[in-house]
Structure 1
C-alpha cells in the first residue's frame, strides 16, 4: 500500500493500545489467528533457506556512505562463504546488504514490517515477507540465522541487538556470533556496558565476550564463519556421543 492507501496506524498499535471501548474482547481471538498465520507464512517461506546471517542497521544510511558500501561488500563476502543474507527489507543498510547479496548471486531476504509511513521492500530483495507484528518478524530473524552483523543504527537496530544478546546470554540460542560493525559508533556503548553495567554487577564481565567489534569486513566474516564452524563441530560431536551411547 502506498500514498493515500497507507493506514494511519499499525496492527501492533491496534493490538497494544488498550484505550477505547471493550470490543477488543471480540476481536482479539481473531487477532490470534492472524498472528498464527504470520508465523506459518514465515516458517513456510524460510524453512529451506539454509545457512543465513541477519544484517541490521539504520534505514537512514544513504548510498555512498562508508557504512553503506561496507554493508554491500560484507553481504557479498557472506554469500561467497555460503550464507544467505536476511535484512528488514527496507532502505539504508538493509538495502545495501540485500544489494550485496543479490549482486553476488546469493539469496537476498527481506522481512518487512507494517509501519505508519511508507517504506516497502527495497528492489534488491529476492525473497520478501511483510509482517504486521514485530514479535513474529523478530522470531524469523533469529530462527533462520546463524549470526548477526549490526551496523550503526537507531532504536530498531538496538532492539534487535539486545534481543539477540538476551537470547544468547540466557541460553535460548547457543554459539550465536554477534558482530558490531563500526568501532567509532559502538565504542561508547561497549564502554558503558563494561564500566557501568558490568561494573555494577548487572551483567557478568563474560557477557561482554558475546560481542565482537570491528571495522573490517573480512574480520566480520571470519568471526561469523569461525563461530558457525565451531557450533557445527559441537553438534557433530554431540550426535557422535549419542550414537556411541546407543550401541
Structure 2
C-alpha cells in the first residue's frame, strides 16, 4: 500500500542548505539564492504587463510537470497517501506512529506516498522502506528548501502545488492524516471536498490521533453541521482513530468497495 504524505513549509529557523530544487532541476551556490518560487511567480499578478507574453509559455511547463508525474507514477501498485508535519522530530511519539503506519501499509501490499520531506513524511517513508515496501516522495519547490528524504525510493520534485495535489489523489486509494499544520489541513479539506462532491469515490480520509484531531472533528459536528453547512452524511467521510489496525481495516474496506465498483 502506498503512503503519501504532505510536504509542509519548514520555518524552524534552519539555514538554507545551499542546494535548491526547482522542479527536476538542482541549483547550488549562487544559483540557489533566489527565495521566490515558480508558484509565486505564476500567481503574483503584480508588476509589468509582460505576463501577457510569458504566461502562455508557462502552460507548457505545467503540462510537462503533469506528463512527468503521470509517467513516473503510472506503474505504482495500490497506494495510500500519508500527510503530516514536516517539523516533527525523530524522537517525537508521532514520528514512531508514522513509521508504524508506513510499515503496516507496506506489509499489506500498499505503496507509501508522502510529500517526500522530513518529519512525519520521512517517518512514513522510512517505515515503508524498512518493511520492504515501495516508498514514494512527491516534493515541492519551497522558499526554504527541504529536499527529498533518504527513505524515498521514487521521488519527484514539483514546481506547482496543483500538479502535485493531482498526483496525490490520482494514485492513492486513501489519505491518512497525522498531526500537521496548514499544509496538512489544506490536503485534508481538499480531499474531503473531492469526496463530498463525488469527484473521487470510495476514498477514505483517516485522521490519526484523537487528541490532536478531536477538537476539529467536534467543531465540524457542532458548528459546521449544526449550522447546516454540511449534511449529516458528510460527517461519515472522516474516520478518527488511534489504532493502526483500525486504520488498515478502513483502508481495506474502501479498497474492496472500489474494486467491486470497477
The normalised TM-score by structure 2 is: 0.88
Supply the RMSD in Å over aligned alpha carbons: 0.9
Q: Is 1:174 the counterpart of 2:187 in the alignment? A: no
- Which residue of the partner structure matches residue 148 of structure 1? 175
Distance 2:48 2:132 in 1: 52
Deviations 1:47-86 (A, max 9, x none): 0101000000000011021111011011111011110000
Deviations 1:225-245 (A, max 9, x none): 11111221232xxxxxxxxxx
- Which residue of the partner structure matches residue 243 of structure 1? none
- Offset of 1:195 from its aligned partner? 0.5
Distance 2:159 2:47 in 1: 21
- Offset of 1:204 from its aligned partner? 0.4
Q: Is 1:107 the counterpart of 2:134 in the alignment? A: yes
- Radius of gyration: which is bigger? 1
More helix by share: 1
Which of the pair has the greater relative contact order for Cα pairs under 8 Å at 6+ separation? 2
- Offset of 1:6 from its aligned partner? 4.2
Distance of aligned partners of 1:6 and 1:50 in 2 relative to their CA distance in 1, 3 Å threshold: farther
Q: Tell me the matched-pair count.
A: 235
- Name stretches of at least 5 consecutive residues in structure 1 with no aligned partner: 236-247
Deviations 1:103-153 (A, max 9, x none): 111110000000001210000010000000000000000000000000010
Describe the SS at the equivalent of 1:12.
helix
Alignment of 1:56-135 (within 5 A): 56-135=83-162
- Offset of 1:217 from its aligned partner? 1.2
The normalised TM-score by structure 1 is: 0.93
Distance 2:257 2:143 in 1: 42
After superposing the two structures, state which structure 1 stretch, 59-68 or 34-43, moved more.
59-68
Distance 2:163 2:205 in 1: 21
Distance 2:189 2:255 in 1: 20
Question: Is the CA contact 1:6–1:118 (under 8 Å) kept in the aligned structure 2?
Answer: no
- Offset of 1:7 from its aligned partner? 2.1
- Which residue of the partner structure matches residue 4 of structure 2? none
